[in-house]
Structures are given as structure tokens and as C-alpha cells.
Chains A and B, each alone.
Chain A
């Protein structure tokens, strides 16, 4: 009982705070304090549950199940399992950091902003923790509204266009998703005689290949838009560019992970045969995303756009690893969810801090190392995580993803089952070099190049350092000792990974 109380508290707290915070009014800090308290409480609950979660079993825990529309088999069912535990932690970690960085801004003082932020968190928690597909869909949609408003109210000059593009684009994906959800419920009714949207029940449905293909395309497209994957990323430059630092950090950090979550929660488990058949195509798409984003990032003069395209590139690794359908690859995809979420949010938040200090001319900032050494060091650490330097989570993720993708691709190639996966892996491996190039160019221009513009501004404040330190801590922890993290999702990964179609060589694999 205590367990489900914790879960319910975590789900409801942001809603309650979202309603209460604006009421407290504009002038006082009370609204901000309340919002932060709620976020820290969620973080505390999430960490507690994360620590207690037994990943090896892979079963759901902290479950809560309330009938909502019993006639249609819809339940308010939430639980923590190996699929969503990283996503939960990511959501819990990022929001306090975002709020802390926006603490002194006009944005941060606005009651509307606080309310939207909390509603966004509530929606995300619902999305990731739902165990009923219709509830999932409702939460997925609920995320969209506060996000669009965040862009619309607090964005840059082109915010209206950015918000509308983002809205329509993701909406188009959502329609497909809803279609698949309803169809799955109907199919359950046909096969078992009762409507249900429960994950476990839906997953046990026997779907023909063509039925799987329909679900794969409908849900897959929604996720490809959300992640985004090339060529479904057209909303990204405008949305990431126009949203405020908070908005961009959350979009790139957590909202993009909804797409990744959809792939690994629904697309692969519900459509196992099609997933295996289309894996080469998906891996190729992922590899093209990786290279496309990376090459575009090479020549971006605008820091924010550079990180935006880097983000597109890094999201590709998640899909690449997942569709390798192999233990290390899927683990890598999972780690990349956390790693990319933390690193890209950190970078966007830091760019936001520069914007706060330097006003509209912040894109011309250079030579941070002399002007704001602490800021420079923290930024450098996020840069290193982004370029996947060992001992950061970025390396753990990219290494596992590429290892898994290579293993699958090579095995298929040797067995004469086509070279697409291997080609995709080799293509993706160029991202290792390209990623270092644009990230270090970025660092060189922003941190080191001291030859232009002289301006002084305050270094990182303790509050800001405190906001970013937890992100860095997790990044380093996963880099140094990923084993303890991977154990949490090993059960889920085991379910996602297919036994390799072609056995690996070497006696040691049998052990």
C-alpha cells in the first residue's frame, strides 16, 4: 500500500502544484518555492523508487490500478518497470534543474510559467508510468498543450510559427498513434471478447504480420516525429530555435524521449516479427539521422542550432541500438536515453544562462575560459559527455549501441542476410569523428577563442552550479560505473533483445 501511495503522490503532486503555484501570485517567491518543492519531492520519490527497484526480475512494481471506464476496459493503471525507470528518473532530474536555472528570470517569476512547467512534468510522468494504452495516449497528448504554450508565451521572435509547426507536426503523429491504440483495443475485444488497453494484455495478442505492420507504421511514425528521426524532424530547427532555454532543454531532454519510449515500449514488443524484418531499414534511418544531424551541426554558427542538430544526431543512436535487437545494443539505447537527456539539457540550459547574462548578443560570446571559468568548466564537461568521451555516460551509450549494432549487422552479413545493418553501423560510426568535430569547434569558439569581443559577466552562481551538478554527477556515474544502472533495466532489455538469428562465434559467448 505504501508503495502505491508513493506512486500516486508522485503523479498527483505536480498537478496539485500546477494549480496552486499560479494562485500564489506573481510578486512573491512563494510560487517558485512551491514549484521547486514539488519537483524536489518528485525527485526524491523517483530516486527512492529507482534504488528499490529490482531490475533483474523486470516486473512492474509500485503498481496502482483503478478502473476508469470499465466497460471499455480502461484502467488508470500506473507502475514502474524496467522500460520506464530511466525515463522516470530523467524527468524527475531535469525539471528542478530547469527551474533553478530560470529562477531569477522574468520567465521564472511568471505564475503561468510555473503552472505550465508543472503540468508538463505531470503529463510526462503520466506518459512514462501508464500501463494502460489509452491512459498513455491521454497523457501523451496532455504533454503537448503546456509545451506549445511554453513556446507560444515565452519563445523568441518567431514563436507563433514555431509553436504552430510543433503542434501540427506532432498532432499528425498523434492521430496515427490514437488510431493504433483504438485498433489494438478493438482487436483485443475481437480476440478475447473484452475491450482492454492493458499493456500486458495487448502484448499477448496474436497479431498477423500485416496487422503488426499497421501498428508498427502508425505508432512508429508518431515516435519518429517526436524523437525526431530524419526525415520527420522538420519541426525541430524552428521549435528548438525559438523556444526559451527552459523549453528547448525540456523538448530535447525529455519530450524527445517520448518517441524513444514509444519505440521500445510499443513498437518493438507489439510487433516483434515486423520489428525484426524492418530492423535493417530502421537502423539505416537511424544512421542517416546520426550523420545528417552531425554534418549539419558542423557548419552552424548559431550555438543553439548547433546543439539542436547535435541532438538530432544523438537521438539516432537510440533507434540504432534498439533495432539491433541485441543485448548490448538495447542497453546502449537505454543508457543513451539518460545520457542524451542530461547532456543536451545541460547544454541548452548553459546557453540559456549565457543569454540571461549577455542579452540578445549572447550568440557572439567567446572566451568563456577567461571571463567565467566555472561556467567554462561545466560547459566543457557537458561537451565531453556529448562527444562520448570515456568516463562519461555518452561513451557508455555509444559504445554499447555501436557494439550491439555491429554484432547484429556483422552476423547478418556473414549469414548472407544483407549488408544493410552493417553499412548502417559503419555509417553511424563516422558520427564518432563528426561528433567530436562539431562539439570541439563549439567549445573552441565559445570557451577558448579569446580574440574577439570583450565583455564581462558574472560566473556561474552557486544556485546554477547546484542545478547542474546532479546532471553531471549522473553523467559521470554512468560513465565510470554503468553496471549498477544497467542492472535496473536488464530484465526489460532481455525481453526486447531477440535471440540472435545467427549464433555468435566463440566459445566465450556461451558462458
Chain B
């Protein structure tokens, strides 16, 4: 077992120890085990990263043959290249930090050991997902993180609403997973292998017909949509906020939900050979970015604002992938992990202080009581809004630039992305003004309780806030690089695997500066508007929003849930309980139930004879049947 396989093995060990013995261990021991093992995994990842950086050669580790028969062969094998390295560092790094934060956040919870066991289990599956050398190993992690997510969303299982949310997340993800599976079958049919490198090589060099490529691309996209909460499979993400807040930060913001982007990037060699699929990916991402942002505008629940924001930001990453700007998508994934984790954990600090209150209408004025929390939340918000020089600025700007300038891009896509940026600035500052400014609307019974988070939580917040500020400097845009005479280590690092964004020949670099200015400028009116609506005028604790139908449409999440309920859930229920159970199954079984009252008289008499006649009747019956069948057989012969 090399150090590569140790990376996922360590959190697995943590899961086993805390899962089996955690109840008997003191909380301190549980926490140390749960945090130390992921931290070790992070150190090992750093080691692997250093090796990779020095040699430029991907690390591999074949553990055993998972299954082999005929021409089918799948190894349980790990693969660590540049893309894996980025994911692995984010997962173990941010993951460890969120574990540390959880020590304080989950303090005193009855399910303390169970919580950390699940969190370690999540890290294990997530690392399997990113380290897998083929689609099967990735799928193991892919469904595994779904399980961990399901368990953690419904962590407080006494509440039926929370377990329902977990159930929904798993089932919606399963729909995506079915697409993933079918894509895998097609890949195997054509390429005869499921190893990522071989698949990319095969489809890059000898792609089948365009229709097949589009089908494969769309099926993979369906998989990505489920995991990464893209339209139309995004409906589980807002509900998933039922889980503890650090879970939302780790799983539903920084790592698991970005797995779809990783999948697209991992198979970039295939996607570049499927131009139609790429266009669909780009537009679906753009659409999700915009729609997600509009939904963030109407929410009063602080965590749900962040959930829709996550959906929207991942939409931007998916759009980048569709534009062929895979490394840019990865860059946004990496910066987003910092500031979105920081935002969620900041929100967690607020919830912690307010005894679980999530409604922004019952917050307000918290900046004075929790200046530190406010500070880190503001820094992360600025990063999310894409204001220079914060981390989000560089990554988001590069996506918008790709939307405009890449060969797949268009002004329309750029406009979609820019509109999403405007809305992002608006809803985030709306949240800031409602939460931290104005008069306090906090319930009197909670007001005296408001406090800054304990040290274990604030250290993590500080680190993530710092990351939100500086993380972007390793990926400066082209014309900044030329201006400052520096390189972009992030893009250079990923270049051997993901290459450069294919740019149109006719775009001038001067345009880049202009677009960047627009992107920054568009955030400012968003902030100003938020101030006018929610900063200057006091927010009412009972504010319910207007009844205008457009607002209604948006605040109801465009009726996606209602639509699925009408079109899928209820018809299935009818099919199950009414049609099949009553109209098919009941008559089918009634015939054989030997109910004299219901069966036909002749059948009854015959069967009654059979019953009373016992063995003798049966033998005669059998022999008659036998004779008939045998004579039939003889005629055939």
C-alpha cells in the first residue's frame, strides 16, 4: 500500500474507529481522531503533490483487479495527476478545517461521535471519487458521497422533515447517477475500457458519430447535474440545508457538489470531441448560474441564500467546462471552496449565536455584537461578488472572459454570466444588510446570548477568510500577467492535463480589460441596490415580499418541486397504489387465491376435489397434465 492509497484510507480508519467505538470514547478523543486523520491525509496529499510537481509524472497505484471477464477489465486503481492534486488538496485541506470548526459547532450534541464518523466517511468517499483511475472507482466515491450526504442531511433524524430532505437528495442524485451509468455503458461499448486516460485518448482520436458523442456527453451531464445541483436536478440542494451547517459548508458548497465539474474536467478529452454536448453544457451552466442567482434574491433563510448561490456559482464552473475552459472552471472551484466555506461557516457562527435561527428577518444589527464574524463574512462576500483583488474576482472574471472570447463563447453567454454577477452582488449584500446591519430584530430571549464563536471556530474562519483574499493570486488573467511580468502557476500546473482555453482569433486583448471593468462595475449597482432596499430602509421582521406573480414564481423556485410532484411523484403513487395494486395485482392474485366465493364455480369444484382428494387427486391431475405435455413434446419431435 503506497501513500496514495493511504490518503483515502486514513479517513476511512477514522470512520471505523469513531463509528464502532465512538460512543464509548470521550468527546475530546473523538474529535482528535476525526481531525487528525484527515490532517494526515492532507499532509500525504502535499507529499504526493510535491512528487508530482517535481517529476511531472502522474502517480498511480493499482490495488487489485476489481472485476475481469471476457474483454471487461476494471482495476481498483488510483491516479494522481494535476487535476486530482487540486481536488485532493481542496478536499483534505478545506475538509480538515471544517472538521476542526465542527469541534466547537457540534459541542454538546448527543450524536457527536456519529457526526464525526459520517464526516470522515464522507472524506473517504470523496477522496475515492477524485483519486479513481477509472469511472467505476469514481462511481464508488460518487454514490458514496451521496450516502454520506444523505446521512448528514438527515443527521438529526428525529425530525421527519430532515430525513425527508436526505431522502430527496439521495433519490434526485440517483436519477443523475443513472445517466452516469448509461454513459459508462456507452463508453465501454465503444472504447472497451473505463480508464479515464484511455477513454480520453480513444474518443479524442477516433470519436464515433456526432450523435453518439452528444448522447454520451449529455448522459454524463445528467450525472453532473444530479451531483452538482444543476437545472433540472437542483431541487435537492435547498432542502439539503437541513443538515448541520458545517456539513453544508463541506459537502454542499466546497467539495461534493463540485464533483460534477470534476467529472467534466476529468473527461475533457472526450468532451472536446463532442462540440454539441459542449454547447449544451455551457448553456445549461449559464442558465443555472442565472436562475440560481434569481432564486437567491427572494430567500429569507440565510443558508438557503447561500445554497442558491452555490448552485449559481457551480453553474459558472459548468459553463466554463462547456466553453473548453476546464482549467478556469477548476480555478473557480478552488477559490469558491474558500469563500463559500467561509460564508457557510460564518453563517454557522451566526446560527450558533442565535440558537439555530436561520431567518434573516429575525436577525439584524449583528455587526456590532459579532464584529469578527461580520468581518470574515464580508471578506468572503466580496470574494464571491468578484471584486478585486479578492479570490473570486480572478476566477469569475476569467470565466466571463472565456464566455466572451472562447471559440464556443458568445456575447449572449457573457451577458448571462454578467447578469448572474450583478444578481450575486445584490443578494449577497441584501443578506449582509439584513443580517449584520440595521436594528436588531433578534428575539429578546436570544439577544443576551449572542456571542462570537469559540476559538476552534474562529481560527478556521480566519484561515478561510485569508484564503478568500489571497487564493486568487496564483491565477492572474493574461493581461495582468503581461503587465506585472508574472506567471499564473495554477494554469501552468494544470496545462499538461487540461490545456488552454481555445480562444477565438478575432478577439483583442484590450477587450479583456474592458470586459473586466464591466464585470466589476456591474457588481457595484447590485450592492447599491441592496443598500437602497435593505440597508437604508429598515427591514420588517414580518416582511413577506410582495404578491407580484413574478416574485411568487421565483420565490417558489420556479415551481420545479410542484411540477415534479404533479408529473412524477403523484402519478407514480397512483400507478403503485391504485392502478397496479388494485387493477393488476389484485385480480392476478385473486385467480390463484382459491377463494371459493370469488373464483369461478367450476374451478372451485375442481380445486376442492383436489384439496379433499389429497395426494391421490394430485397424482391423477399431475399425470393428466404430464400426458398432455408429453404428447405435445412428441408431436414436436
Cβ contacts A399-442/B at 8 Å (1 or 0 each): 11011001100110000000000000010011011001100110
A237 within 8 A of B: yes
**Known A-B contacts A389-B143, A402-B185; A511 and B71 likewise in contact (beta carbons under 8 Å):** yes
**Known A-B contacts A327-B70, A481-B76; A433 and B178 likewise in contact (beta carbons under 8 Å):** yes
B581 within 8 A of A: yes
B592:A481 contact, CB within 8 angstroms: no
Interface residues of B in 46-91 (CB under 8 A from A): 64-72, 76
Interface residues of B in 600-637 (CB under 8 A from A): 607, 610-611, 618, 622, 625-626, 629-630, 632-634, 636-637
Shortest beta-carbon distance from A337 to chain B in Å = 16
A433:B633 contact, CB within 8 angstroms: no
In the complex formed, the residue of A with least CB distance to B146 is: A389
- Expressed in whole angstroms, the Cα–Cα distance for A296 and B578 within the complex equals 10
Chain B residue numbers with a CB within 8 Å of A457 are none
B160 within 8 A of A: yes
In the complex formed, the residue of B with least CB distance to A497 is: B70
Chain B residue numbers with a CB within 8 Å of A292 are 580
A9 within 8 A of B: no
- Expressed in whole angstroms, the Cα–Cα distance for A457 and B607 within the complex equals 45
Chain A residue numbers with a CB within 8 Å of B269 are none
**Known A-B contacts A410-B185, A481-B76; A506 and B192 likewise in contact (beta carbons under 8 Å):** yes
Chain B residue numbers with a CB within 8 Å of A481 are 64, 66, 76
Interface residues of A in 180-196 (CB under 8 A from B): 180, 182-183, 187, 190
Q: Chain B interface: which of A43-51, A124-132, A171-179, A458-466?
A: A171-179
Q: Chain A interface: which of B168-176, B310-318, B346-354, B559-567?
A: B168-176
A506:B636 contact, CB within 8 angstroms: no
B167 within 8 A of A: yes
In the complex formed, the residue of B with least CB distance to A370 is: B158
**The one of B181, B190, B610 that contacts A505, using a Cβ cutoff of 8 Å:** B190
A154 within 8 A of B: no
B622:A407 contact, CB within 8 angstroms: no
B140:A391 contact, CB within 8 angstroms: yes
B260 within 8 A of A: no
- Expressed in whole angstroms, the Cα–Cα distance for A174 and B622 within the complex equals 9
A295:B580 contact, CB within 8 angstroms: yes
B143:A437 contact, CB within 8 angstroms: no
Most chain B CB atoms below 10 A, which of A297, A407, A429, A440: A440
Q: Chain B interface: which of A252-260, A356-364, A446-454?
A: A446-454
A510 within 8 A of B: yes
A164:B594 contact, CB within 8 angstroms: yes
Shortest beta-carbon distance from A394 to chain B in Å = 11
**The one of A238, A295, A297, A441 that contacts B575, using a Cβ cutoff of 8 Å:** A295
Chain A residue numbers with a CB within 8 Å of B595 are 161
Q: Chain B interface: which of A10-18, A24-32, A86-94, A211-219?
A: A211-219
In the complex formed, the residue of A with least CB distance to B575 is: A295
Cβ contacts B30-47/A at 8 Å (1 or 0 each): 000000000000000000
A506:B178 contact, CB within 8 angstroms: no
**Known A-B contacts A433-B175, A451-B160; A175 and B625 likewise in contact (beta carbons under 8 Å):** yes
Interface residues of B in 18-37 (CB under 8 A from A): none
Chain B residue numbers with a CB within 8 Å of A4 are none
A504 within 8 A of B: yes
A267 within 8 A of B: no
B171:A440 contact, CB within 8 angstroms: yes
Chain A residue numbers with a CB within 8 Å of B17 are none
Chain B residue numbers with a CB within 8 Å of A67 are none
- Expressed in whole angstroms, the Cα–Cα distance for A415 and B102 within the complex equals 57
Shortest beta-carbon distance from A317 to chain B in Å = 13
Chain A residue numbers with a CB within 8 Å of B637 are 183, 187, 190, 208, 211
Question: How many residues from B make CB contacts under 8 Å with A?
Answer: 73
B633:A180 contact, CB within 8 angstroms: yes
- Expressed in whole angstroms, the Cα–Cα distance for A149 and B337 within the complex equals 63
**Known A-B contacts A179-B630, A402-B185, A449-B163; A369 and B174 likewise in contact (beta carbons under 8 Å):** no
Chain A residue numbers with a CB within 8 Å of B630 are 179, 182-183
Shortest beta-carbon distance from B169 to chain A in Å = 10
- Expressed in whole angstroms, the Cα–Cα distance for A213 and B160 within the complex equals 54
A120 within 8 A of B: no
B158:A327 contact, CB within 8 angstroms: no
Shortest beta-carbon distance from A63 to chain B in Å = 25
A504:B175 contact, CB within 8 angstroms: no
Chain A residue numbers with a CB within 8 Å of B585 are 237, 296
In the complex formed, the residue of A with least CB distance to B629 is: A179
Shortest beta-carbon distance from B134 to chain A in Å = 12
A328:B70 contact, CB within 8 angstroms: yes
B594:A161 contact, CB within 8 angstroms: yes
Cβ contacts B582-602/A at 8 Å (1 or 0 each): 000100110111110000000
B69:A328 contact, CB within 8 angstroms: yes
In the complex formed, the residue of B with least CB distance to A384 is: B147
A204 within 8 A of B: no
A444:B144 contact, CB within 8 angstroms: no
- Expressed in whole angstroms, the Cα–Cα distance for A399 and B194 within the complex equals 13
In the complex formed, the residue of B with least CB distance to A440 is: B167
Q: Chain B interface: which of A71-79, A338-346, A482-490?
A: A482-490
Shortest beta-carbon distance from A229 to chain B in Å = 13
B479 within 8 A of A: no
Chain A residue numbers with a CB within 8 Å of B158 are 367, 370, 450-451
B344 within 8 A of A: no
A299:B573 contact, CB within 8 angstroms: yes
A106 within 8 A of B: no
B185:A238 contact, CB within 8 angstroms: no
**Known A-B contacts A299-B581, A403-B185; A444 and B164 likewise in contact (beta carbons under 8 Å):** yes
B72:A328 contact, CB within 8 angstroms: yes
In the complex formed, the residue of B with least CB distance to A179 is: B629
A406:B189 contact, CB within 8 angstroms: yes
B154:A448 contact, CB within 8 angstroms: yes
A433:B71 contact, CB within 8 angstroms: no
Shortest beta-carbon distance from A285 to chain B in Å = 15
**The one of A218, A295, A370, A504 that contacts B633, using a Cβ cutoff of 8 Å:** A218
Interface residues of A in 232-246 (CB under 8 A from B): 234-235, 237-238
A390:B594 contact, CB within 8 angstroms: no
**Known A-B contacts A179-B630, A295-B575; A437 and B178 likewise in contact (beta carbons under 8 Å):** no
Shortest beta-carbon distance from B290 to chain A in Å = 28
- Expressed in whole angstroms, the Cα–Cα distance for A441 and B389 within the complex equals 48
- Expressed in whole angstroms, the Cα–Cα distance for A176 and B627 within the complex equals 10
A455 within 8 A of B: no
Interface residues of A in 54-104 (CB under 8 A from B): none
- Expressed in whole angstroms, the Cα–Cα distance for A407 and B575 within the complex equals 30
B177 within 8 A of A: yes
- Expressed in whole angstroms, the Cα–Cα distance for A176 and B622 within the complex equals 9
Interface residues of B in 172-205 (CB under 8 A from A): 174-175, 177-178, 181-182, 184-186, 188-193, 198, 202
9 additional A-B pairs beyond A175-B629, A389-B143, A407-B189, beta carbons within 8 Å, are A211-B637, A234-B588, A237-B585, A390-B140, A390-B144, A407-B185, A436-B170, A448-B157, A509-B192
* A positions within 8 Å CB-CB of B: 161, 164-165, 168-169, 171-172, 174-176, 178-180, 182-183, 187, 190, 208, 210-211, 213-214, 218, 231, 234-235, 237-238, 292, 295-299, 326-328, 331, 367, 369-370, 384, 389-391, 395-396, 399-400, 402-403, 406-407, 410-411, 426, 429-430, 432-433, 436-437, 440-441, 444, 447-451, 481-483, 486, 490, 493-494, 497, 504-511
Q: Closest 7 interchain pairs by CB?
A: A508-B192, A327-B70, A179-B629, A506-B192, A509-B192, A390-B140, A448-B157
A-B CB contact pairs (8 Å), 20 listed: A161-B594, A165-B593, A175-B625, A179-B633, A180-B629, A218-B633, A295-B575, A296-B585, A384-B147, A399-B181, A402-B185, A407-B189, A426-B182, A429-B182, A433-B171, A448-B157, A449-B160, A483-B68, A505-B189, A511-B71
